[in-house]
Structure 1
């Protein structure tokens, strides 16, 4: 969730060093840093639910799951993002302590302030990650999961999951009822 931009150039090394001690998270795009804002109860709950069930699924498979605090580096574009959820199964990622370079799955939970960025620029940038097989967008307002999956031709196909359906994340051979992702979340449709 981006809230402000700092207008001076920062090298990737300076950025990574500053992030180690920063109390506020920043994303980095080609020398510019962008301050991250806090998240809503629904956002945090969805992330926690998904991480919990995914963690149990990938346990002892060689895959690692990260949420909100681990950066992904897109080296070709000189940028770093903090995905809401990221799964890497690539042993090369074990050598990087503060970021990962070879994710298989990235998930972003949508909010009003980040939806355009998550659907547009971030997705365009994430597509430069050769190991990325799925990019998932989860609504925090309505029960809907959009899974963009790279096919064998390298094109991205959309798989949509809604209320009462089972979510399938093929990149990690994972299935769960969509309701499990939204457990303890009060949706906008329930309030009205």
Structure 2
């Protein structure tokens, strides 16, 4: 979830300096700084599961997985953001003079929340598509066994694939690996209408 801070304009360097000292992470949106609030336990569990299982599957391959404490910089749109999971092929490419801000993920995973799901599907995906190396976008629901995937083919077209249900397996073709839905959702307890009423 994102919370807007004061409507001041910040340069990218001012934002980066703030991120070095602030207690909480913030996104940068072309001059505006937006505070990121904490996620749910299911959000954390899904990120943990993806990081652990995918990280093990990629062992010994030319890929490196990072989760939501490493910043991605998107030069074309002057955006700084913290994707839930990123995978890089080969060596990370950093913003000039930095070691905390990368430029070249081939795959990004976002765990959807009620407040950010539309932004993740639309504007954020548009921003990510400006990254030359980027070729796989994965959106994971917290509400049900549902994974949405966009894959860039050799003709630079984005193809959509949906995985639904507890028994299916999700393929990550750009990485040459797959995960079962039960691995992605290990220990995740879905909220029902009744539990939401009592919160």
TM-score (norm 1): 0.94
Helix, strand or coil: the match of 2:174?
helix
Q: Does 1:169 find its partner at 2:172?
A: yes
Alignment of 1:133-148 (within 5 A): 133-148=135-150
Aligned residues: 192
By how many angstroms is 1:116 displaced? 1.1
Corresponding position of 1:179: 182
By how many angstroms is 1:130 displaced? 1.0
By how many angstroms is 1:5 displaced? 3.7
Q: Decide which structure has greater helix share.
A: 1
Q: Structure 2: give runs of 5+ residues left out of the alignment.
A: none
Q: Distance in 2 between matches of 1:14 and 1:94?
A: 18
CA contact (8 A) 1:142 1:189 kept: no
Helix, strand or coil: the match of 1:188?
coil
Q: Structure 1: give runs of 5+ residues left out of the alignment.
A: none
TM-score (norm 2): 0.91
Q: Distance in 1 between matches of 2:32 and 2:48?
A: 29
Helix, strand or coil: the match of 1:171?
coil
Q: Distance in 1 between matches of 2:30 and 2:64?
A: 27
Deviations 1:96-150 (A, max 9, x none): 5211100010000001111111011101111101101101100001001111111
C-alpha RMSD over aligned residues: 1.8
By how many angstroms is 1:190 displaced? 10
